[in-house]
Chain A
Amino acid sequence: MARKITYQQAINEALSQEMSRDPTVIIMGEDVAGGAGTDGEQEAWGGVLGVTKGLYKKFGDRVMDTPITESAFIGAAVGAATAGLRPVAELMFIDFMGVCLDQIFNQAAKFRYMFGGKAETPVVIRTMYGAGFRAAAQHSQCLYPVFTHIPGLKVVMPATPYDAKGLLIQAIRDNDPVIFCEHKVLYTLEGDVPEEPYTIPFGEASVVREGKDVTIVTLGRMVHMATDAADNLAKQGIKCEVIDLRTTSPIDEDTILESVENTGRLVVVDEAHPRCNIATDVSALVADKAFDSLKAPIKMVTGPHVPVPFSDVLEDLYIPNAAKIEAAVRSVMGKKG
């Protein structure tokens, strides 16, 4: 039965249900319990934002606090995945991938291919991304394009509580390495989520809203910006089709191409920096495979080519918003202003 819970609770519930179902699922990360070795509370944090709170109480040693050594524990999760466990490791902020990237992209991602198809590495790396917390340049990035670039990884970024639960359960049951990207601003978002476990297959985009005039392809937090823009545009008589990619690797090419073939116009919205991001990737796909359907040039709405700034004024300017998306849509519709 569905009830309203938050994105954060949906993630917690997915972890809890999978740990109950499968004893080989373990969790590790910095302060995923919090308080290890102290005289105080033994599950003081449950993750820096409380996403894993309650799991240590329920599953004990299967929820493992780690030293702040991402190379060692992300690598340990990868190694354990080759040896019979299904670890869910938490890389607190996606920005920290720089200190452990080798274990992800040279080890986990490549084992199966390098070893001639004989390796399975069922590891999930959960990580928090995105701007909006005034967390500045080293705690706010959208580095999922980096992971999307790497063959051997699957990259997932739910936009809703429903998708968060279903995609995370899928990720844990999946036999390939999965980078599971959680937008920090979405943790408090509420939505309908069934109590029972369910999965959402990777590579199937969600058509959040149907429309005949313009296709908006987007992902993560930007899905909500895009639907806000689409609401406003509908009042002006412009009908937008909003596609939430849900996963960038694999990517649902068919849904994107079918939609663009119907609307003839494409706006891609991506919070990431503008170079080599998901917006450029989707634009290239459409230019390559559906160019003849286009009635107008493709527009991209993205963060700018600067680090994420700290000051609220600057950060708000950095983040794409509904007004910027509306302007892009009006532009591809040939409307000024």
Chain B
Amino acid sequence: MQLSKADLLRAYRMMKTIREFEERLHVEFATGEIPGFVHLYAGEEASATGFCMHLDGRDKIASTHRGHGHSIAKGCDVDAMMAEIYGKKAGLCGGKGGSMHIADLDKGMLGANGIVGGGPPLICGAGLAAKVLKTGGVAIAFVGDGGFNQGTTAESLNLASVWRLPCLFVVENNGYAEATSSKYSVSCDDFTDRAAAYSMPGIAVDGHDFFAVYEAAGEAIKRARSGGGPSLIEVKLNRYYGHFEGDAQTYRGVDEVKNIRATKDCLMLFRKRVEGAKLVDAAELNKIDADVLAQIENAVKKAKAAPKPTAADLMTDVYVSY
């Protein structure tokens, strides 16, 4: 699949924005200023980006606890996301959702989800709506290796197959469901082994390689859009931080993350490839790095300064009418 230079720059900016957003949150969380639970997506950027680069306004995604990357990739406003995570009224959800419930339905982002395995049934519904209303849209459930063991996921794979829905089920296998290895908790060697049980293609892809993800995603999305039904895609990748911020990660190898960062980092691999092939100058990518740093700095500054919700906000937004 050919990517124009503009696409390459867009992909890099998307991945870099997610990375800086998460790296900065890691630092800010440690100061104690961010309330609640935060689950960072750093290390997994090529997955959200590789899929969402193919999507447009017709398409819907559902995410997981680890939802910041998907949100950014689907076009959610970065300032509003940051304000949300700080619990501010200017936040994407008015400070009522926080990190685990970041959503923007206008952008087709049906929400990060506090319930492991919460998203796949919703994505069947979004796919059904696209099919019934003939929008041409597709719907993607991003699920972790923990969530992919949930009954909701199994039921949804079956339903999507039976109804031939324009859905993708993407298992982002970072090797750990909380603190439990997928080697222990997953019954098969590869999640793609399960695809045959639901009569759909199962594709495994290296999630450190943006181009591999982009290609696999493109084929599955094309198939879904043209009425070919759902696909299961396993993206094998790594998370750079704990299950949540504050997780001491004593279950991980001593230099595990350090080694992955040094050898498999998706941003590093991307740069190596496009610079090596002389598709993009390093200077252009450096410029994006600088832009993104400034953007995140600005987002944090604004989020910190923004007012919190007031007592008047407590009881609103429960119902459309009551």
- The interface of chain A, by Cβ under 8 A from chain B, is 24, 26, 62, 64, 66-67, 69, 71-85, 87, 102-103, 106-107, 110-120, 151-152, 154, 174-176, 203, 250
Q: Which of A72, A84, A102, A118 contacts B159 (CB 8 A)?
A: A72
Do B125 and A113 have beta carbons less than 8 Å apart?
Answer: no
- Contact residues in A for B318 (Cβ distance below 8 Å): 112-113, 151-152
- Contact residues in A for B152 (Cβ distance below 8 Å): 71-72, 75, 102-103
- Bound CA span A195–B34, Å: 58
**Among all A-B residue pairs, the 5 with the closest Cβ atoms:** A75-B121, A79-B125, A116-B94, A79-B122, A117-B317
Q: How many residues of B contact A (CB 8 A)?
A: 49
In the complex, how many angstroms separate the beta carbon of B296 from the nearest chain A beta carbon? Answer: 22
> Which residue of chain B has its CB nearest to the CB of A28?
B128
- Contact residues in B for A77 (Cβ distance below 8 Å): 125
Q: Tell whether B316 is near chain A: CB-to-CB under 8 Å.
A: yes
| Given A102-B118, A118-B105, A73:B129 Cβ within 8 A | no
Q: Tell whether B195 is near chain A: CB-to-CB under 8 Å.
A: no
- Contact residues in A for B155 (Cβ distance below 8 Å): 67, 69, 71-72
| Given A76-B128, A176-B320, A67:B162 Cβ within 8 A | yes
- Contact residues in B for A115 (Cβ distance below 8 Å): 93, 96-97, 101, 103-105, 111
In the complex, how many angstroms separate the beta carbon of A304 from the nearest chain B beta carbon? Answer: 33
Do B96 and A114 have beta carbons less than 8 Å apart?
Answer: yes
| Given A72-B152, A75-B125, A112:B320 Cβ within 8 A | yes
Do B132 and A26 have beta carbons less than 8 Å apart?
Answer: yes
Do A116 and B121 have beta carbons less than 8 Å apart?
Answer: no
Do B121 and A103 have beta carbons less than 8 Å apart?
Answer: yes
Do B92 and A116 have beta carbons less than 8 Å apart?
Answer: yes
- Contact residues in A for B125 (Cβ distance below 8 Å): 75-83, 85, 87
- Contact residues in A for B118 (Cβ distance below 8 Å): 102-103, 106-107
> Which residue of chain B has its CB nearest to the CB of A80?
B125
> Which residue of chain B has its CB nearest to the CB of A77?
B125
**Could you pull out 17 A-B pairs where Cβ atoms are within 8 angstroms?**
A67-B159, A72-B152, A75-B122, A76-B124, A79-B62, A80-B125, A82-B126, A84-B133, A85-B125, A107-B118, A107-B122, A112-B317, A115-B93, A118-B93, A152-B319, A174-B321, A176-B322
- Bound CA span A119–B319, Å: 10
- Bound CA span A62–B129, Å: 11
> In chain B, residues 192-220, which have Cβ atoms closer than 8 Å to a Cβ of chain A?
none
* B94, B121, B152, B321: most-surrounded residue (chain A CB, <10 A): B121
- Bound CA span A203–B133, Å: 33
| Given A69-B158, A114-B96, A250:B122 Cβ within 8 A | no
> Which residue of chain A has its CB nearest to the CB of B133?
A84
Q: Tell whether B13 is near chain A: CB-to-CB under 8 Å.
A: no
- Contact residues in B for A84 (Cβ distance below 8 Å): 129, 133, 135
| Given A82-B110, A82-B126, A112-B318, A72:B158 Cβ within 8 A | yes
- Bound CA span A69–B117, Å: 14
Please, what's the 1-or-0 string for B234-250, where 1 marks a CB less than 8 Å from any CB in chain A? 00000000000000000
| Given A71-B151, A83-B126, A78:B321 Cβ within 8 A | no
Q: Which of A76, A83, A106, A203 contacts B60 (CB 8 A)?
A: A83
| Given A69-B155, A72-B152, A115-B105, A176:B132 Cβ within 8 A | no
Do A85 and B133 have beta carbons less than 8 Å apart?
Answer: yes
- Contact residues in B for A117 (Cβ distance below 8 Å): 94, 316-317
In the complex, how many angstroms separate the beta carbon of B35 from the nearest chain A beta carbon? Answer: 15
| Given A79-B129, A83-B60, A114-B93, A73:B319 Cβ within 8 A | no
- Contact residues in A for B101 (Cβ distance below 8 Å): 110, 114-115
Q: Tell whether B305 is near chain A: CB-to-CB under 8 Å.
A: no
* A75, A76, A78, A151: most-surrounded residue (chain B CB, <10 A): A76
Do A74 and B121 have beta carbons less than 8 Å apart?
Answer: yes
* A102, A152, A176: most-surrounded residue (chain B CB, <10 A): A102
> In chain B, residues 159-212, which have Cβ atoms closer than 8 Å to a Cβ of chain A?
159, 162-163
> In chain B, residues 92-114, which have Cβ atoms closer than 8 Å to a Cβ of chain A?
92-97, 101, 103-106, 110-111, 113-114
* B105, B114, B128, B321: most-surrounded residue (chain A CB, <10 A): B128
- Bound CA span A38–B67, Å: 42
Do A83 and B111 have beta carbons less than 8 Å apart?
Answer: no
| Given A116-B94, A119-B105, A175:B123 Cβ within 8 A | no
- Bound CA span A79–B320, Å: 17
- Bound CA span A142–B228, Å: 43
- Contact residues in A for B151 (Cβ distance below 8 Å): 71
Do A116 and B96 have beta carbons less than 8 Å apart?
Answer: yes
In the complex, how many angstroms separate the beta carbon of B81 from the nearest chain A beta carbon? Answer: 12
Do A78 and B93 have beta carbons less than 8 Å apart?
Answer: no
Do A111 and B320 have beta carbons less than 8 Å apart?
Answer: no
Known contacts A66-B159, A75-B121, A175-B321, then 6 further A-B pairs from the complex at CB < 8 Å, ordered by chain A residue: A72-B124, A72-B152, A76-B156, A80-B128, A107-B121, A115-B111
> Which residue of chain B has its CB nearest to the CB of A64?
B163
Q: Tell whether B50 is near chain A: CB-to-CB under 8 Å.
A: no
Q: Tell whether B230 is near chain A: CB-to-CB under 8 Å.
A: no
> Which residue of chain A has its CB nearest to the CB of B58?
A83
> Which residue of chain B has its CB nearest to the CB of A152?
B318
In the complex, how many angstroms separate the beta carbon of A72 from the nearest chain B beta carbon? Answer: 4
Q: Tell whether B294 is near chain A: CB-to-CB under 8 Å.
A: no
- Contact residues in B for A73 (Cβ distance below 8 Å): 121, 124, 159
- Contact residues in A for B321 (Cβ distance below 8 Å): 174-176
Q: Tell whether B130 is near chain A: CB-to-CB under 8 Å.
A: yes
Do B162 and A71 have beta carbons less than 8 Å apart?
Answer: no
In the complex, how many angstroms separate the beta carbon of A9 from the nearest chain B beta carbon? Answer: 27
Q: Tell whether B91 is near chain A: CB-to-CB under 8 Å.
A: yes
Q: Which of A67, A72, A152, A154 contacts B121 (CB 8 A)?
A: A72
- Bound CA span A257–B104, Å: 41
> Which residue of chain A has its CB nearest to the CB of B121?
A75
> Which residue of chain B has its CB nearest to the CB of A79?
B125
- Bound CA span A72–B153, Å: 8
